[in-house]
Amino acid sequence: MVETRENYIDGEWVSTETDETIDVTNPADPSEVVTQYQRSSAADAATAVEAAADAKSEWAATPGPERGSILRTAGALLEERKSELTDLLIAEEGKARPEAAGEVQRAIDIFYYFATKAADLGGTVKGASAPSTNLYIRKEPVGVAALITPWNYPIAIPAWKLAPALAAGNSVVIKPASLAPGVVIEMAAALEEAGLPDGVLNVVTGPGSEVGNEFIENEDTDVVSFTGSSQVGQMVYDQATDAGKRIQTELGGKNPTVVSASADPAEAADIVASGGFGTTGQSCTACSRAIVHEDVYDDFVSELVDRAETIDIGPGADHEMGPQVSADERDSTLEYVDVAQNEGATLATGGGVPEDLGDGYFVEPTVFTDVEHDMRIAQEEVFGPVVAVLQVKDFEEGLEVANGVEYGLSASIVTDDHTEANRFVEEAEAGVVKVNEKTTGLELHVPFGGFKRSSSETWREQGDAGLDFYTIEKTVYDNY
């Protein structure tokens, strides 16, 4: 029998007022219902916000080391349950096991990191101009944080929003993505067991049009953090700023890897394949454009096609690349395959649905060549295992093409030329820039965010920058 999971509000596991549920199915086998979750209403979301508002003062007054101790205990509980969390993530989202296990470990590491940082949030002391005066700056929590998180990293992204918010002393309401909410429910269970006070964390599952909308517009929420598509993110940004909220959005990408004339084609193909086909291309930092110097273009294409054709596709539990998360995502990717061919790009490999894999949402790793810079396949986010290869005559053209999109999240270059590498770092219009590395993969202790349509360009996530978003500064003049 399929388990039905409840919302977590004010320290209690509760059902929605509507008595409606959402079935989450296995994307590798859509006939399998993994778990049922609450299809919550705006009223449920409002109840959660009320609980968070009631709990915020006591949690804000809790000493930072004590808050950190709770986060550390929760991290240890997640570590004990790593295997089952990995299985749940695979079943709901479809990731290959090594990717799913790595993502769960990332969440554990984030909890440990911010557990330590919680003790360092007192503020700073400055020298005063007048005698007999203490001059110092206090860092205080902003209040109630509303978090709206995506399905593609269903535990890592919620963790890197939730842990700093709690470490800084904020209470939280969170709406996980309806396609894969299970691991967020399990994070809440770990925090409850770790001793988090009632009302400090509230989890409500359901549609963004009801739950997310209430979180953003409710007068008792103070900050909003959203990760998702650029189209929805812009609406969230406008809605939150109109309501006077502090807002942070991390959105889409059209991430390039520039392959220099000095690059080894085999090494470059390894980097692009890992960045483009890893996580089934369902990453905001995935490489979707390989911008290749004409001197190495043919060899690079041959190497990349070979890697695409040798990837083992199937259910994420025991294959190298799993399915896309839903029928809509698969169909969107296949639609872009048709668009690219209609615009004149050459399908070098892939582009279809693998045979003998049943009704799962699988798409073959796909490579397009003869791609022009103004084609949709080179301008729009696909969010599937598709890499467009563009040929350029020199570094200058490669840099221009790399920057010539509306997005600016992650960018990389493969080169043995140090001057090119330095120029790319300085001139690439992206929030994350890498040299001789894939576009995906992030350290947890440094800022993450994008330029242009990839971000609101307001606040960064992760590391100290993540804590900055959830704190506000108060300057104190103490004339003793």
CATH number of 33's domain = 3.40.605.10
pLDDT (0 to 100) of residue 64: 96
Residues 247 and 261 in one domain: no
Q: Is residue 444 part of a domain?
A: no
Residues 99 and 209 in one domain: yes
DSSP 352: S
Q: Is residue 261 part of a domain?
A: yes
Provide DSSP, 429-445: -SSEEEESS-S----TT
pLDDT (0 to 100) of residue 22: 96
Active centre residues (catalytic): 284
Residues 464 and 358 in one domain: no
Q: Is residue 36 part of a domain?
A: yes
Q: Which residue has the tokens 């429910």?
A: 185
Q: Is residue 116 part of a domain?
A: yes
**CATH code, domain with 310:** 3.40.309.10
Q: Is residue 445 part of a domain?
A: no
Closest-CA residue to 336 (of 350, 321, 315): 350
Residues 135 and 119 in one domain: yes
Q: Is residue 362 part of a domain?
A: yes
Residues 153 and 53 in one domain: yes
Is residue 255 within 8 A of residue 430, CB to CB? The reply is yes
- Pairing state between β 171-175 and 144-148: parallel
Whole-number Cα distances in Å, 111 to 38, 116, 445, 480 = 26, 9, 12, 40
Residues 269 and 247 in one domain: no
pLDDT (0 to 100) of residue 63: 96
Contacts of 230 (CB under 8 A, 6+ apart): 251, 252, 381, 406, 407, 453, 454
Is residue 323 within 8 A of residue 360, CB to CB? The reply is yes
Residues 63 and 174 in one domain: yes
- Pairing state between β 471-479 and 7-9: unpaired
pLDDT (0 to 100) of residue 122: 85
Q: Is residue 30 part of a domain?
A: yes
User: Where in the sequence is the domain holding 165, given as residue range(s)?
Assistant: 7-251+456-479
Q: Residue 119 burial by CB count (10 A; 0-12/13-18/19+): exposed, middle or buried?
A: middle
Residues 243 and 320 in one domain: no
Question: Residue ranges of the chain with pLDDT lower than 70?
Answer: none
Alpha-carbon dihedral angle through residues 336, 339, 340, 342, given to the nearest 10 degrees: 160
pLDDT (0 to 100) of residue 17: 83
- Pairing state between β 410-414 and 255-259: parallel
- Pairing state between β 246-250 and 223-227: parallel
Render pLDDT for 192-239 as a digit per residue (tens, 0 to 9): 999 999 999 999 999 999 999 999 999 999 999 999 999 999 999 999
Residues 66 and 214 in one domain: yes
Residues 285 and 308 in one domain: yes
Residues 246 and 279 in one domain: no
Phi-psi region of 204 (alpha: psi -120 to 50; beta: other; left: phi over 0): beta
Q: For the chain, what is the radius of gyration of the CA atoms?
A: 23
Number of domains making up the chain: 2
Could you list the beta-strand ranges (E) of 327-385.
346-349, 366-369
Closest-CA residue to 272 (of 191, 367, 348): 367
Q: What pairs with residue 248 in β-bridges?
A: 225
Render pLDDT for 49-97 as a digit per residue (tens, 0 to 9): 999 999 999 999 999 999 999 999 999 999 999 999 999 999 999 999 9
Residues 311 and 247 in one domain: no
